[in-house]
Amino acid sequence: MNYITSIIRSLAMLLSLIGFTGKTVYSLDLYVSKNGKDTNPGTIEKPLATLEAAQKKIRSIHEPVVVYVRAGTYYLKKPILFSSEDSRRPEEKVVYKSYRDEKVIFSGAARLQLKWSAYKKNIFKTAVPPNLVFDQLFVNGKKQRMARYPNYNPASSHFGGYSEDVLSPEKIRSWKNPEGAFIHALHKHEWGGYHYLVTGKDVDGKLKMEGGFQNNRQMGMHAKYRFIENVFEELDTTGEWYFDRKEKVLYLYASSPQDLNKAEILTPQINSLFEFRGSESAPVRNITLEGFELVHVLRTFMETKEPLLRSDWAIYRGGTVVLEGTENCHIRNFHFKEVGGNAVFFSNYNRKSEVSGCHIENAGASGICFVGDPAAVRSPSFEYNLAVPYPEMDQAPGPKTNNYPADCKVYDNLMHGLGQVEKQVAGMEISMAMNIAVSHNTIYNVPRSGINVSEGTWGGHMIEFNDVFNTVLETGDHGSFNSWGRDRFWHPNRETMNKLTTEHPELILLDAQKTVVIRNNRFRCDHGWDIDLDDGSSNYHIYNNLCLNGGLKLREGFQRIVENNIIVNNSFHPHVWFPNSGDVFRKNIVLKPYFPIQIKDWGKEVDFNLFPDTKALDAAKANQTDAHSVAGDPMFVDPEKGNYEVKAGSPAFKVGFTNFPMDEFGVVSPSLKSKSEKVPLPIINTASSNSGITEMAWLGGKLRNVTGLGDRSAYGLPDEHGVIVDDIPSGSILAKSPLKKGDVIRKMNKKDINNIGDLTNIFQKINWTGHSEIEIFRNQKLMTVEVSFK
């Protein structure tokens, strides 16, 4: 009896030393609470105070563990770091999660106790402690804006307000000391954006700036789309603030003399909240984070410097959550709310890790990024105009090392409002990675693409069942899905590239080793292409996709198979193909004629497609394609409700088209579905000439044809041709343009507009540019306006 008692006492002592007592011993649960202490054992009755304390305890436990985090906001002074020391065997997995769906928030902000005094009018000021970063400011939970010019306007098409005169001598003279200001601008060709820090004025009164490295196609900033922030003289409206770095004084323009001394004032201080830092030789394994809300993370636009090979991108290799050197680590059911930069960033070696069930809203940069190590790329080049000469080229296939993300999964995530600061962003960014599965995500309201693949290295991605719309809102020449393929074979001189790929076809797929599959997605882009395979994109299989507006583009590349897709109100855009490209376009439904540009060789097969009418079909046959294609009404089941399956008897079946599901796009979690916006469905237009269409929705407004002498008289027209702007709802894209209700459109892009058919045919060819010169009749006078499609 004494022997048994001794054993029990020894076991109890051992369990006490590792922090477990009572009934929770065998379940191996730990608890963290705002009311806890790190000296506590970590039980539900005596919880720990921090995740770091839980980490330390878990390292000596060799069983599965769940760490339950109780409700509250946890303010971090530095990121929570998981290293190889925290790695777990498969049978020892650890999960950190919110307790019974309690709201758990992790914040990277400092809480400020300030004493405010009146400055002038509605401006208040306060001294602040030293050594604080002032990049963003939150008052009682609401984000304020740096004092800026022009003032923020949510209805503006770009940056929430822009002005051409930001850098005018007159404007610069109005600023006594603009040092510390930031200039944000689009790229000259609207291919992303630039950001600059103002360091002062030169002897001529011009701004001295540093920056502009955020884009890998260096052409300078846009002359029109730009604004400046953090300028004291621009502190002139409610919700703006300015921080005087030298005097350590914070100024805030408040809506009323509220009691700011009692307000909660927060300012972010760190770039990330959770970091997994391992390597291929010492990975972080089998850790899951689940159910947290992440807020108050610094903007990182001035850290976006690393070029991504020869794509248009530069990147900041960081985010609110960073994973590097992980295996089987999961981020689940997170809410990323107004974080300053990227939400999730997978850097270099990662295997079988996952992001799922997350809600990413209003992030400053991208949603989820996978970016490998450039040192793993053979013969890399880092700018559009650079290339490695053939004799110097490493001609071994595939990567040099394993230091890149592979076999990872992004599933069931809702992403919207991204790119609040940076404009070369995406919901999903993939560069120098392999076998990334991107499925059942809903992505919308982004300034550039929803999903972007920066180059061919190294393919194998599965992109399926995603719902991507309202994209390319602030940029141009892009798509809801975009890719480049400026791989080893690619050269900026087209003649050199033609010669190289003809003489050495083995180069073509040295980097694009595995086929990228794009299937069962729904895309809609009103300012570019629904699917845009740009420079060099090769080795793709694209099928069973519903494209609702922008069409499908294949620029020069190799071995792309496009089949069994539905392209609503648009068509196929083949651009400048290579000889012997091996491209295939078959068994698709298109509702417009093809839009080829500089096509001499039509690939391996372009045939067995359904056209809207014989005119469109005959135009294709004139190019020696589509010998077995047919024309006719596709007979969609219920397009008004989003069902574009075709009915029995549809001519689409004659060319081998098969229906695919119309109710499986996007997120699957009921909670995310309830939060998501719905894709806008187009009015079907099946006529290639559009001659039968008399009215249509366009850019959120309503247009109709000029009809008869009544319209001619009412609008003072010289004839009965043109398109009338019949309605412009507030909040629509059309409402942001200079067009007004009652305007009569007569020309677009200097081409005559006799009716809606002319307008839609021209618009589909130029909408990717993002804007057009439009000639209108207004008040019986002819005038010209510039209209943005964004």
Strand 306-307 and strand 314-315: the pairing is antiparallel
What value does the mean pLDDT take over residues 368-393? Answer: 97
Ranges of H-type helices in 374-532: 494-503
According to the model, what pLDDT value does residue 713 have?
A: 65
Hey, how many other C-beta atoms are within 10 angstroms of the C-beta on 583? 25
Closest by Cα among 429, 435, 439 to 344: 429
Task: Give the integer Cα–Cα distance in Å for 395 and 507.
Answer: 7
List, for residues 182-203, the tens digit of each pLDDT value.
999 999 999 999 999 999 999 9
Cβ atoms of residues 443 and 428 within 8 Å: yes
Instruction: Kindly state the tokens that stand for 670.
Output: 């009921």
According to the model, what pLDDT value does residue 257 have?
A: 67
List, for residues 649-668, the tens digit of each pLDDT value.
999 999 999 999 999 999 99
Q: What percent of the chain has pLDDT over 70?
A: 95
Cβ atoms of residues 654 and 628 within 8 Å: no
Task: Give the integer Cα–Cα distance in Å for 712 and 454.
Answer: 51
Task: Give the integer Cα–Cα distance in Å for 665 and 662.
Answer: 7
List, for residues 324-350, the tens digit of each pLDDT value.
999 999 999 999 999 999 999 999 999
150 cis-preceded (ω within 30 degrees of 0)? yes
Strand 560-563 and strand 540-543: the pairing is parallel
pLDDT level of residue 636 (50, 70, 90 thresholds): very high
Task: Give the integer Cα–Cα distance in Å for 788 and 774.
Answer: 10
List, for residues 2-30, the tens digit of each pLDDT value.
444 444 444 443 444 344 443 323 249 99
Q: Could you tell me where the beta strands, DSSP code E, fall in 156-206?
A: 182-187, 193-201
Higher pLDDT, 723 or 696: 723
List, for residues 429-458, the tens digit of each pLDDT value.
999 999 999 999 999 999 999 999 999 999
End-to-end CA distance of the chain: 83
Measured CA distances, 414 to 337, 426, 458, 503, 761 (Å): 12, 13, 26, 46, 34
> Is the pLDDT confidence value at 766 over 50?
yes
Strand 426-431 and strand 368-371: the pairing is parallel
